[in-house]
Amino acid sequence: MAPDLVAGLREAMPIAIGTLALDRPGTGLVIVDEVNGFATVGAGNLAPPVPNAQVGRMVVETNRLARSFSGRGWKILAFLDTHVPGKPEPPYPPHCEQGSGEEELVPELTWLESDPHTTLVRKDCINGFVGAIAGDGRNRIVDWVNANRLSAILVVGICTDICVMDFVLTTLSARNHDLMPTLKEIIVHEPGCATFDLPRATAEKLGYGATASHPQEATHHMGLYFMASRGARIVGEVRLPAWSLGSPAAGRRSRQGLRRRPGARRRGPDPGRG
Q: Consecutive sets of 10 residues in the chain, 274 residues long: mean pLDDT of each?
A: 85 97 94 98 95 98 97 97 96 95 98 98 98 97 98 98 98 98 98 96 92 96 98 97 50 39 36 34
Same domain, 230 and 247: no
Same domain, 169 and 273: no
**Enclosing domain of residue 208:** 3-241
The alpha-carbon radius of gyration of the chain (Å, integer) is 20
Same domain, 237 and 257: no
Same domain, 167 and 257: no
Structural domains in the chain (count): 2
Spatial neighbors of 153 by CB under 8 A, at least 6 apart, are 27, 28, 29, 30, 145, 171, 183, 185, 186, 187
Spatial neighbors of 100 by CB under 8 A, at least 6 apart, are 37, 44, 85
- Give kind and range of the element (H or E) at residue 238: strand 233-239
Same domain, 260 and 152: no
Burial label for 17, CB within 10 Å (0-12, 13-18, 19+), is middle
pLDDT tens per residue across span 218-247: 999 999 999 999 999 999 999 998 754 334
Instruction: Residue 233: give its domain's CATH number.
Output: 3.40.50.850
pLDDT tens per residue across span 54-79: 999 999 999 999 999 999 999 999 99
